[in-house]
Amino acid sequence: MDDALDAVPAPDPNVRPDGFVVVVEPGDRIHFLDWGGPADVGTPGVVLVPGLSQTAWIWAPVARRLRSLARTVAMDLRGHGLSDAPTDDGAYDLDVLGEDVVAVAEGSGLLATGGPSGTTTDRVVLAGHGFGAAVAAVAAGRLGDRCAGLVLVDGGWESMEVSTGLDADEFLRGLDEPPEVMRSLDAFLADRAAFDPATWDADQEAAARATVVETHAGRVVPSTRPHALEASVRAMFTYEPAITLDAIAAPVLGLLAADDEEHTRERSLAAVSEARVAASRPAIVLQRFPHDGHNLMRYRPREVTAAILAALQPDH
């Protein structure tokens, strides 16, 4: 692991990504940040997918490192960030969300000519965090041979009902922030900084700010539209990891965060990995981070970057 970390470039603090949108049927706009990268048509590009109630900015600590070696884009899921939030029935089904990822890969120019930076590759690596890992897995299945690798950052290998012991309605009720955290933007940012003061910086503040909207009264409310949040959670609870991951021929890496005292989540990953092997797929390569929180991009950006770089190698 030390050798892999040595290969991770230092973050470039001066880069500011460009924002773009790709239009998907029936006219919804999906926003993404293009962090740039080398114009090497032989190197797969990378699409980074954030999790529930997060935006593309949560990936900044990884993107600043990754862009030195691969062209990198990070997207906002529909209903999140600067992406549109349609109200149609089925607009947040996993198949639809997966197609959004494919549309970003193609519309950004990673898989088709004419994108913002004009770079084209034959394949991409997908990396998703939490719920975004499940979405990335669905997209990997859609891409088939055009997916060079899939990195699941603390999610994407488990049934939510099994891992949480909750149903979708119970899970939704647990998402509300304490009133004292939402009383002002300063209170909200202070709460986010307190998770780990040593890793709080301008990118973390930008990521936190992108998840809320300040009202005229000075309070903050979540920027993720309520209907989109509910529909996304219900979609998350329909995810079938074994079926989805068995269909992916590309290598899969899993990064497991947080204490898992009963090893429930690790057993879920092992079971899915065994099912992949039975289906003549490569086993999931697991890395454990038992003392780190869910947001590994914040707490372990070098390690997350190293995992994505490993997925970019043709013989990994």
Over the stretch 143-180, which tens digit does the pLDDT of each residue have?
Answer: 999 999 999 999 999 999 998 999 999 999 999 999 99
What total number of domains does the chain contain? 1
What mean pLDDT do residues 212-239 have? Answer: 97
Q: Is the peptide bond before 26 cis (omega within 30 degrees of 0)?
A: yes
Q: Kindly list the strands in the beta sheet with 147-153, ordered across the sheet, starting from the edge strand earlier in the chain.
A: 18-24, 28-36, 72-75, 45-49, 124-129, 147-153, 252-257, 285-289
Mean pLDDT is highest, among 37-51, 107-121, 190-204, for 190-204
Query: Does residue 37 surpass a pLDDT of 90?
Result: yes
pLDDT of the residue at 121 = 59
Look at residues 217, 220, 236, 230 and name the one whose alpha carbon lies nearest to residue 178. Answer: 220
Q: How far apart are CA 109 and CA 119, in angstroms?
A: 6
Question: Within the chain, where are the H helices?
Answer: 2-6, 60-66, 94-107, 131-143, 160-164, 168-173, 185-194, 202-209, 226-236, 241-246, 264-278, 296-299, 301-312
Query: By three-state DSSP, how is residue 257 classified?
Result: strand
What mean pLDDT do residues 273-287 have? Answer: 95
pLDDT of the residue at 41 = 65
pLDDT of the residue at 231 = 98
Residues 6+ apart with CB under 8 A from 90: 96
Contact predicate 105/97, CB 8 Å? no
Q: How far apart are CA 59 and CA 126, in angstroms?
A: 13
pLDDT tens sequence across 286-304: 999 999 999 999 999 999 9
Q: How far apart are CA 280 and CA 207, in angstroms?
A: 39
Query: Does residue 200 surpass a pLDDT of 60?
Result: yes
Contact predicate 90/96, CB 8 Å? yes
Confirm whether 207 is domain-assigned: no
Confirm whether 151 is domain-assigned: yes
Confirm whether 228 is domain-assigned: no
CA atoms within 13 A on the CB side of 91: 22
* CB burial of residue 260 (10 Å; 0-12, 13-18, 19+): middle
Q: Cα separations (Å) of 172 from 53, 62, 95, 226?
A: 12, 29, 21, 10
pLDDT of the residue at 46 = 98
Mean of per-residue pLDDT scores for the chain? 93
Look at residues 206, 223, 205, 201 and name the one whose alpha carbon lies nearest to residue 214. Answer: 223
Q: How far apart are CA 296 and CA 48, in angstroms?
A: 13
Domain limits for position 270: 2-163+240-312
pLDDT of the residue at 115 = 40
Q: Are strands 28-36 and 72-75 parallel, antiparallel or unpaired?
A: antiparallel
What mean pLDDT do residues 248-269 have? Answer: 89
Residues 6+ apart with CB under 8 A from 221: 182, 212, 213, 215
What mean pLDDT do residues 62-87 have? Answer: 97
Confidence of residue 117 (pLDDT cuts 50, 70, 90): very low
pLDDT of the residue at 246 = 95
Confirm whether 196 is domain-assigned: no
Q: How far apart are CA 180 and CA 196, in angstroms?
A: 19
Look at residues 248, 244, 250 and name the one whose alpha carbon lies nearest to residue 308. Answer: 250
Contact predicate 47/124, CB 8 Å? yes
**Enclosing H/E stretch for 288:** strand 285-289
Look at residues 170, 168, 163, 134 and name the one whose alpha carbon lies nearest to residue 151. Answer: 134
pLDDT of the residue at 158 = 94
Confirm whether 185 is domain-assigned: no
Query: By three-state DSSP, how is residue 51 classified?
Result: coil
pLDDT of the residue at 313 = 85
CATH number where 118 lies: 3.40.50.1820
